[in-house]
Structure 1
Amino acid sequence: MVDAGFLRVTRTAISAWLVISLFAGCDQFDLASALSSRPPTEPRIVETLTGKVIRIADGDTLTILTDDNLQVKIRLEGIDAPERGQAYGMRATTALAEMVSGRVVNVHTTGTDKYDRTLGFVEVDGTDVNLKLVEDGWGWHFTKYNSQEKFATAERAARAAKRGLWAQDRPMAPWDYRGLEKPVIVPAGFVGPRITAAEKPEIVPASSTRKFWLNTGTGVRHNSRCRNFANTNHGYFCRSTEGRACGICGG
């Protein structure tokens, strides 16, 4: 009888050989790069910068002026705040500004992102600003690039308490908002394919589309009697069938 332990080891060795063989046949595969791209449990601190906050771009991005008179744009590590054009985007920006605007902060840097912004943990008077924003409900744990449990725990607590943006029924994550289809810009002089009469889209009178407003930050539709009609950070006039009806005005 063949020993069961020997079989397990043999199967593992064969599986490993197959995987290595597969990768070896792919010129584009870089095992070292693939492993290094995985989000670390604890981001490694590269250095600590000290400077005065001179600009707030949004809820997770700011600029400091160092003692060497260098301006450094900082993207807060581990979190993702709502964009300024979506619901709670301006409130998240304000929350960050109230904590650090005009103040001297320490930034424990962890590297740079694809936009060449410096990633880091911002600290002011001993407070972890990144963590505080998530605790107060002004941002998500950015799990795509960070897997620290402190952010996951803070987000769960903020959700449960409905703090900040979690007061919404179904808040849209900023990475989903950024992924929304953008309008296509057609070059001047472009001639598209011929469209038959049967294929022409329905022309809707402007008056009928201005009776409803879709808040694209939340996906909620408001009618013209609602206080939120044409009064959200981001949205457009829509049909009566688009989005979800407002729980107050009925959409």
Structure 2
Amino acid sequence: MSNIRILVGCKRVIDYAVKIRVNAARTAVETNNVKHSLNPFDEIAVEEAVRIKQRLPSRVSDILAISCGSAKCAEVLRTAMAMGADRAIHVEADDSTLQPLAVAKLFKAIIEKENSNLVILGKQAIDDDSNQTGQMLAGLLSWPQITFASNVNIEDDALKVTREVDGGLETLSSKLPAVITADLRLNEPRFATLPNIMKAKKKSLVTYTPQDLGVDITPRLEVLSVTEPPPRQGGGTVESVDELISKLKEVGAL
């Protein structure tokens, strides 16, 4: 049985509780003076990596957290280390230039550098909802992928993962190395305690640039404009079924 070296992705996103607004230039959402935090699905991925290490302490040799973006990404990496990640790597780049394919290429470079053999990512980020990085990374590495995981078991060098599908649950098995993306019901992330937050400040956090890794992150897509959805029209009340049917016919619903 080989040692397991886990890599987890940690994206810094606008906090889920913040009301999103489009900036004045209509080029993106407003991020200035807005609270950011670790992407919730990535938080689940970190928790799962820590649980795997707790279940298999003799086999998991390392949990490496990685984030790509501005200097402020160090905050979410410290959070991941406070939750239980052993160390972290920050690839510093302009957030506005990073797209899923570029992030997948950066992750691939780190994986090859660190010899990771299990990657756990959130199934998507709550800011762009792309749901692409995990799949692209698996394609670049030519590794098997299991997406939307709701349960993960490791026996010897084999994974057995349950995932949610439209018709219910599907269980897949795969050999390591592999890429897993975490779904909402995989686990309940722990809170980082104050002692662990203080310990995280002493853990290793290494910074690279895309140039250090030999990766071109030039955007391939151009955002033309960002607009808010039109406001919903108010509803109305009806006195009878006949009036309801009449109203539905007026709007072309029947």
Give the greater-gyration-radius structure (CA).
1
TM-score by length of 2: 0.23
Q: Which has the higher contact order (CA 8 A, sep 6+)?
A: 2
TM-score, scaled to structure 1: 0.23
